Homo-oligomer: A and B are copies of this chain.
């Protein structure tokens, strides 16, 4: 791709287009605006276009978030020569169309999780990525939480021995109030899934990332505690799960329990992980994302993951100065740019995204069979 070649030749910055300008669009814009300030060695980027359907709103957002232009037609933007990276932050049902078009146009593609709403779309995206000239990546941003990246390193280095058990949960409470109104997120045809897809996907990707292997069997249960809610047109049925549970096994025999919920009163963003190995253990809670519990067999140590030697930290601030949730997107952008510069495949890949969805599907299939074990 000539446009990309130019850019990686250093003759001009890589042009970025973000599709979508609400919550994720804001977070990704922040990443592109700041990546060069913290990661000076990655290829320079230019915040070229922010794309959205509402022309006035996307124009306002583009000005606010530092974009040179705004646009409403993603297909047109993908065709532009000055766009090298297409970053997809739309609702999930649009991911496949945009990603396939962008890959066909030779662009590098970053897709916010989930890869797509269906396994079929995801498979098509994986296939397209395999033959594309551009690089592709899925946005599981928690891989860039320094504490979780450190956990991955420690496990890979054998610091806790052979992992046997993982105890994982992702608990939120925004649906705990049964008078909370109906939203599109609670309709299966629009959202695809409930807590399982939204929260479980992060947990499953972390299992794959931390353990360096895949889940191969699943036993699952889904539950909708509040089956109807008030919508704009009266009572409406909730068609996704409020909470889900799974017992998973990996290729090497690790057993992981997973619990996800939007009904866990008091938990705001409670992604917690406990990893038990033959010689130690690790623990993590996203609500305290700068900390990792490390037990090397003598007791659980609280490690403040802000040292220069910790993953990603050299880019940021001196020891003891904590990061927030949004910094993970900046580091994600840096990782993508580094992969592009080094001409290697970024991680996590579309295939990693597909792998997560296959596990989620297996959990749903198990639930449909009264919890019987299902192969992924």
Contact = CB atoms under 8 A, between A and B. Distances in A.
Contacts of A245: 247, 255, 257
A258 B278 CA distance: 21
B294 A303 contact: no
A118 interface: no
Contact of A268 (B164, B255, B306, B324): B306
B299 A301 contact: yes
A321 interface: yes
A29 B37 CA distance: 9
Oligomer: number of copies? 4
Most buried by B among A243, A257, A279, A318: A257
A262 to B, nearest CB: 11
Nearest to A295: B266
B306 A265 contact: no
A184 interface: no
Interface stretch (A83-91, A107-115, A280-288): A280-288
A30 interface: yes
A373 B167 CA distance: 21
Contact of A276 (B34, B263, B278): B263
Residue from A66, A287, A294 with most neighbouring chain B CB atoms (10 Å): A287
Interface in A322-376: 322-327, 366, 369-373
Contacts of A160: 265
A264 B287 contact: no
Contacts of A40: 64
A65 interface: yes
Interface string A292-314: 00110111111110100000000
Interface stretch (A70-78, A120-128, A218-226, A228-236): A218-226
A319 interface: yes
A333 to B, nearest CB: 15
A325 B326 contact: no
A317 B121 CA distance: 30
Given A66-B37, A160-B265, A257-B259, A299 B302 contact: yes
Contacts of A279: 265
Contacts of A164: 225, 243, 263
B370 A370 contact: no
A297 B307 CA distance: 14
A81 interface: no
A172 interface: yes
A176 interface: yes
Contact of A321 (B33, B171, B326): B326
A300 B297 contact: no
A172 B317 CA distance: 15
A261 interface: yes
A250 B325 CA distance: 37
B281 A266 contact: yes
A178 interface: yes
A49 interface: no
Contacts of A133: none
A327 B219 CA distance: 40
Q: Which 7 A-B pairs have the closest CB atoms?
A: A269-B320, A268-B320, A324-B324, A299-B301, A219-B371, A266-B295, A323-B324
Given A30-B37, A221-B255, A324-B327, 18 more contacts: A36-B66, A37-B64, A37-B65, A160-B265, A164-B263, A165-B243, A167-B259, A174-B319, A225-B253, A257-B257, A265-B279, A268-B306, A288-B288, A290-B324, A295-B301, A298-B303, A322-B325, A324-B326
